[in-house]
Amino acid sequence: MNNILFISKGEAASSTRYRALQYFPHFIQTGWQPSHITISGGFLSILRTFLAAKKSDVVVILRKTFPYPIFWILRKLSKKLIFDFDDAIFSNTDGSYSKTRMHRFKITVASCDYIFAGNQYLAAKAKNYNPSVAVIPTSVEVDKYNLSCQKDNEAFELVWIGSKSTRKYIAEIIPSLENAAQNIPNLRLKIIADFELTSTKLNINNVAWTEHSEAIELCKADVGLAPMPENNWTKGKCALKVLQYMASGLPVISSQSGVNAYVVEDGISGYLVSDSSQWAERIVQLSKDKVALTKMGERGRCRVQTEFSIKAVFQKIITTLS
């Protein structure tokens, strides 16, 4: 039995949950022994990580880059070292250039045996320093989101799921949603997050995110929203919220940016918008067409099942490791 160790900043991190932990049962079924260790920066944590790496057949670093001395030792101790990343970690979060981040990224990617990149944009960046790169998209457990629930017939509910770090994305389109509310009296926006927004012109339902309730809260909504600007940081995003919406059977209205523009098929599983006025137009359009709501949701769920389910993506992982 081969041992595979995942190293990350913590189990609560979305990259850890979606790019490692959810695959553990599948690794076990195929004869691998997976484990995870959190490296927090303290000496004992680093030492435990070194010892675990030495005992493993494959070591996967999730998203994190290290100061060179730590990385050098980890490289020496690892029989096979893989770097997995699902964000543009070589840039600042506003998309601007970061000399420090890029330097660490180059050293890490160039020294690993293999790279798992979350999308084509990230893969292209990695290939500048290492030819051994595989695109491993983020995946979701479709059955978790394929629920039967009672929607509120008294409201047409939009939903956005996210966190404080992406709060500005949904905040920026609130004026467009307020415009849509002028034509849809029962319009409501549900925000599933760790913050709250308010509006005097739009009914907003703020729901605290929990891993156990997110699926049912998405199921109750009618349309998923994915606003996102286009820059060197957002190009690295791997469309997690879009995949969650589609797995929930929701049509998606998304900015025409990043990998969202690949996952959402315009006019098939939702709509792609390129300016502020189109948000209100597409929302009003869908509110009047229940047939389109259902068909787009079904098509989106089918695509996630085929290309972005845990089973489909794990097959790519295990093929690469073989």
Q: pLDDT value at position 40?
A: 82
CA distance 15 to 27: 17
CA distance 256 to 234: 11
Q: pLDDT value at position 42?
A: 85
The answer to whether residues 56 and 132 belong to one domain is yes
CA distance 86 to 239: 10
Question: Checking DSSP bridges between strand 223-226 and strand 252-255, what pairing results, if any?
Answer: parallel
The answer to whether residues 50 and 195 belong to one domain is no
Whole domain around residue 292: which residue ranges? Answer: 142-308
Inter-residue contact 74 to 45 (CB < 8 Å): no
Judge whether 320 lies within some domain.
Answer: no
Q: In sequence order, which ranges of the chain are alpha helices (DSSP H)?
A: 14-19, 24-29, 43-54, 68-77, 99-111, 120-127, 142-145, 167-172, 174-181, 214-219, 240-247, 260-263, 276-287, 290-303, 310-321
The answer to whether residues 64 and 165 belong to one domain is no
Q: Backbone dihedral region of 257: left (phi > 0), alpha (psi from -120 to 50 degrees) or beta?
A: beta
The answer to whether residues 60 and 191 belong to one domain is no
Judge whether 318 lies within some domain.
Answer: no
The answer to whether residues 58 and 182 belong to one domain is no
Q: What are phi and psi of 265, to 5 degrees?
A: -90, 115
Q: pLDDT value at position 310?
A: 97
In the chain (322 residues long), the average pLDDT of successive 10-residue segments reads 92 92 97 95 90 97 94 97 96 92 96 97 98 97 92 94 95 97 96 96 96 95 96 94 97 96 96 94 96 96 97 95 88
Judge whether 317 lies within some domain.
Answer: no
Q: What is the pTM (predicted TM-score) of this model? A: 0.92
Inter-residue contact 222 to 157 (CB < 8 Å): yes
The answer to whether residues 152 and 285 belong to one domain is yes
The answer to whether residues 225 and 93 belong to one domain is no
Q: pLDDT value at position 322?
A: 83
What's the domain count of the chain?
2
